[in-house]
């Protein structure tokens, strides 16, 4: 792994580091787990989304329950195409983006990909209220 990090740094990567992970998520090593997840998703009632959900696997809009179920079922063994997703969201004019949950790492990654991206955070009650107010004005 260190050779890969060195190669990335030599190619111009701003920062390289190994991420602690409890499992080999988003790679073919979890293909068997996709089958188990698929069976579970098939038994779970899903509602059609009110707004499009963008898949991080292929950056496509998921507008139906079958499409959502399919993407949920294959998410463990497929890579995340984060740059493509962010570029697609920006091209569609879908801003501001809202990072839900603790921390601001995804927002920082979004801004590395697209410097003018607007990302709202929700890690505190005040930040959540500000994000809701900002989005309601869009």
Residue 1 lies in a domain: no
Residue 113 has what pLDDT?
A: 94
Residue 99 lies in a domain: yes
- The fraction of the chain above a pLDDT of 70, given in percent, is 100
Both tokens of residue 61? 């809009």
Residue 132 lies in a domain: yes
Q: Is the pLDDT of residue 42 over 90?
A: yes
**98 DSSP 8-state letter:** E
- Cα distances (Å, whole numbers) of residue 65 to 16, 34, 42: 38, 18, 11
Residue 123 lies in a domain: yes
**Whose CA is closest to 104, among 125, 82, 120?**
120
In terms of domains, do 75 and 92 share one? no
Residue 8 lies in a domain: no
Task: In whole angstroms, give the CA distance from residue 115 to residue 109.
Answer: 10
Domain ranges, residue 91:
82-138
Give the chain's domain count: 2
Mean pLDDT of 33-37: 91
In terms of domains, do 90 and 138 share one? yes
pLDDT tens digits along 50-93 = 877 888 888 888 999 999 999 999 989 999 888 999 998 899 88
Q: Is 86 exposed, middle or buried (0-12, 13-18, 19+ CB in 10 A)?
A: buried
Residue 121 lies in a domain: yes
Residue 51 lies in a domain: yes
Residue 11 lies in a domain: no
Task: In whole angstroms, give the CA distance from residue 70 to residue 66.
Answer: 6
Task: In whole angstroms, give the CA distance from residue 132 to residue 105.
Answer: 20
pTM of the full structure:
0.69
Element (H, E) at 88: helix 82-91
């Amino acid at each position: 792994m260190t050779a890969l990090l060195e190669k990335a740094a030599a190619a111009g990567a701003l920062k390289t580091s190994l991420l602690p992970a409890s499992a080999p998520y988003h790679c073919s090593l979890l293909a068997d787990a996709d089958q188990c997840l698929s069976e579970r998703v098939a038994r779970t009632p899903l509602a059609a989304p009110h707004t499009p959900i963008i898949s991080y696997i292929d950056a496509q809009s998921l507008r139906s329950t079958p499409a959502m179920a399919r993407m949920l079922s294959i998410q463990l063994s497929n890579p995340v195409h984060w740059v493509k997703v962010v570029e697609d969201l920006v091209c569609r004019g879908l801003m501001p983006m809202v990072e839900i949950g603790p921390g601001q790492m995804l927002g920082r990654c979004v801004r590395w990909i697209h410097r003018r991206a607007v990302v709202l955070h929700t890690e505190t009650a005040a930040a959540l209220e500000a994000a809701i107010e900002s989005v309601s004005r869009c």
